[in-house]
Amino acid sequence: MRPTDRCSACLITLILSTVSCSITPATRVETVSSQVEALDSAPTQETLGSEIDGIAGVFSDRNPRLLPAEAAHLARVVVAEAHRAGLPPTFVLAVIEVESSGRQDAVSEAGALGLMQIMPATGEFVASQIDVPWRGRESLFDPVINVRLGVHYLEELIERYANVRTALAAYNAGPGDVSRRIRSGRPIPRDYADKVLAAYAEAGEEI
C-alpha cells in the first residue's frame, strides 16, 4: 500500500442511509447506526474521559495481558489521533478490531503488522511524513506508533478518495488496486468496509 501526501484533518458526519458522499464540507461515513453529531468542535473533557475509559475497557477485554495503565495510555492515543483527524474514536477502534482484534503482535500472511495491520513500506513512508521515529518493521509492533501511522494513513485515503467506503477498501487492498478498479469501471469490493462499519456500530454500543 502506498500512501498519498499528508492531508489536512477531515470532519465526519455519520449518516444512516447514504451509500457514498463527498467530503465537502464534511466527510461522511455510512453506518448502520443512527445519525450522530458531526465532529465540528473540540470535545469536552467529560466526553474525552468517557471515550478513553470506554476504549481502554475494550483493549483490556481483547488483551488481558495489558496492564490497566497500558490500556488507558493506548486509549488516549486512539482518542487523540482520532480527534486530530476529525474521526470518531470508535471508528478507529472498529478498524483496529477488524484488522487485528486488538492484538499488538498481529502479523498477516501479506506481512502487515500490529494493531492497524500496516505494511512496513507504508509505515516507513508515513513515518517520514509525520516525523515519527522509524526503527524498521519492529516499529509497527509499538502500539502507539502503529495507531499514529494507521490513523494518518486512513485520513490520507479518505481525503484522496472523498468516500469512506472507497478509502476503507484502499486501506485493505491498497490504493493501487482500488484506483485501477475505478479507472476501469470495475466494482470496488465492499466486504471490508461492511465489516468495519458493522464493527463501528457495535463499538458504539459496547462503549
66 contact partners, CB below 8 Å, separation of at least 6: 59, 60, 74
Catalytic residue among 51, 81, 97, 99: 99
Closest CA to 79 of 88, 70, 71: 88
Residue 195, helix vs strand vs coil: helix
For this structure, is 159 an active site residue? no
Dist. CA 10–CA 27, nearest whole Å: 6
Closest CA to 163 of 188, 140, 133, 199: 188
171 contact partners, CB below 8 Å, separation of at least 6: 1, 95, 153, 154, 157, 192
- Residues involved in catalysis: 99
